[in-house]
Amino acid sequence: MAVHLHEEDLPAGVLAPGPVAVDTETMGLVTPRDRLCLVQISDGGGDEHLVRFSPGSSYAAPNLKAVLADPARIKLYHFARFDLAAVQHYLGVMAAPVFCTKIASKLVRTYTDRHGLKDLVRELLGKEISKQQQSSDWGGPILSDAQMEYAASDVRHLHAMHAILVERLAREHRSEIAQACFDFLPARAKLDLAGWAERDIFSHE
């Protein structure tokens, strides 16, 4: 198991076929303002690939874009709404179809309000991950070992949790509604980018 850092694009042929786990690191939480610095991706085979983008990047990344835009590959996320918007805004592709572990967790773990990645990994897999680097500077010229490990851990466990959550959704007869939520996420991300991030357009008000 290894963490691989790449500059500006993913090397061709490093991912096996099938679902990929995806996460992003940005300079902040306002997508158009806070640039995309890092995309993490894993095929679940044990290695994590980190693609770093420099200030002023053109975000060309043809190999990474091809994987993210591939309609035959399910993309696994934790809080897909944010990552989809970041990828769409900076890389210009909608990284779907989607499975979001946070949404799945909210649909089947109704006995708790703790749906963060750390809590989910602890309960479902019995493992601990550190969130210490969550608010660090991802735009610096050098990523620390701690930053790289944090970034890699955000995609390392998504395949295993996906398998468990798929079973739980089926057990609770919520697979269909979950899929409908996942299918809507690209539209939700586009609404966020277009200025409706804080508005519930489905509410009566």
Between CA 116 and CA 58 the distance in angstroms is 32
The fraction of the chain above a pLDDT of 90, given in percent, is 92
Predicted pLDDT at 71: 97
Of the candidates 39, 41, 35, the residue with the CA atom closest to the CA atom of residue 15: 41
Between CA 11 and CA 91 the distance in angstroms is 16
- Continuous segment of H or E residues that includes residue 142: none
The Cα angle at residue 75 between residues 162 and 158, in degrees rounded to 5: 35
| First-to-last C-alpha distance (Å) of the chain | 51
CATH superfamily of domain region 3-196 = Ribonuclease H-like superfamily/Ribonuclease H (3.30.420.10)
Between CA 79 and CA 66 the distance in angstroms is 22
How confident is the model over 141-147, as a mean pLDDT? 93
Q: What distance lies between CA 111 and its chain's CA centroid? A: 24
Return the half-sphere exposure (C-beta side, CA atoms, 13 A cut-off) of residue 191.
13
In the chain, % helix, strand, coil (3-state, to 5) comes to 40, 15, 45
pLDDT in tens, 92-114: 999 999 999 999 999 999 999 99
Between CA 38 and CA 128 the distance in angstroms is 23
Predicted pLDDT at 124: 96
Residue 133 has pLDDT above 70, yes or no: no
How confident is the model over 192-205, as a mean pLDDT? 91
DSSP 8-class letter at 184: H
Sheet (strand 75-77) strand order: 3-7, 48-52, 36-42, 20-26, 75-77, 98-100
Between CA 96 and CA 74 the distance in angstroms is 7
